[in-house]
Amino acid sequence: MAKMIHDIRQKVIEIAGVCFWYWDNFYAFLVSCGIQRDHYLLYEGENKYKMMRNIITDLEDKNDDETLKEIVKNLYILKSIPDPNVPDTRKSQKLLQELKDMCGPNLIEKEIEERRRKEHSKIFTNATLTKVQREQKLIDLNNEFISLFSNSNHQQRGFELEKIIYNLYHFFEFEFQKPYKTKDEQIDGWYKYEKFDYLLEIKWIDGKIRQDDLAIFDKKIDKKARSTRGHLLRWMGLVMMQFYLSQERSLV
């Protein structure tokens, strides 16, 4: 559980009651520390000492170490009394200085270093988690693909194959457009790679690919801009991927 050091805790509570005169200034300070209005209004009617004590207790109970540190830091960096209308300015200045002495001369540097350490730890944790998640995603996609060979429903098998291909493109962060239909033709999708757009045609077939199929797909490409190419993916039998590459015909 997060805990503010006892002596610093008592000093912060004392500063709340002595160094702030107007409530608006005190509330503004609390908000600057990340304390929500709904929170501090729970103790409306209490004096500033009790309000600060209750807020600190709540934050400790919630293990909110960041906000506790923010309260101390925001008092530490004050260069003057937060409210010059306080009855005893000398005492206010003395309390602020005592807090600084308790925290030591390098509080801000220590906090920056601590935040940097936590950020590095977070980045490492996220990177490790992401690697595991990505590996699992590929395993899942591979299992989905293998399961297609036991699916006797030709139409459903083709639909599931398309989904797997789309997920692969998203996985490798291609700019990708799902299938769309125009007045004259059906496009299984497209993706961008370098400076080219690639139209996709994805099918699960029972026999060898026919020249007529290539010609039909080639016509679809010819209707598009010169920077458009084609990527034809066909599966048959024991997983055979057909790639057709032609610089002249722009067909892959």
193 inside domain: yes
In a domain, 213, yes or no: yes
CA of 62: how far to CAs of 29, 114, 201, in Å? 20, 20, 55
Do 88 and 168 sit in the same domain of this protein? no
> 211 falls in which pLDDT band (50, 70, 90)?
low
pLDDT digit string (tens) for 138-151? 888 889 888 888 88
How confident is the model at residue 237, as a pLDDT?
43
36: pLDDT strictly greater than 80: yes
Which residue would you say has higher pLDDT here, 22 or 200?
A: 22
Count the domains in the chain: 2
Q: For residue 117, is it within any domain?
A: no
Q: Give the tens place of pLDDT for each residue, 66-100.
A: 899 899 989 988 888 888 888 899 999 999 999 98
Domain with 28, as residue range(s), is 6-105
> In the structure, how many helices (H) and strands (E) does the chain have?
9, 6
Q: What's the pTM value of the predicted model, to 2 decimals? A: 0.46
Closest CA to 72 of 62, 60, 87: 60
Q: Name the domain boundary from 105, 127, 144.
A: 105
| DSSP helix/strand/coil, 93 | helix
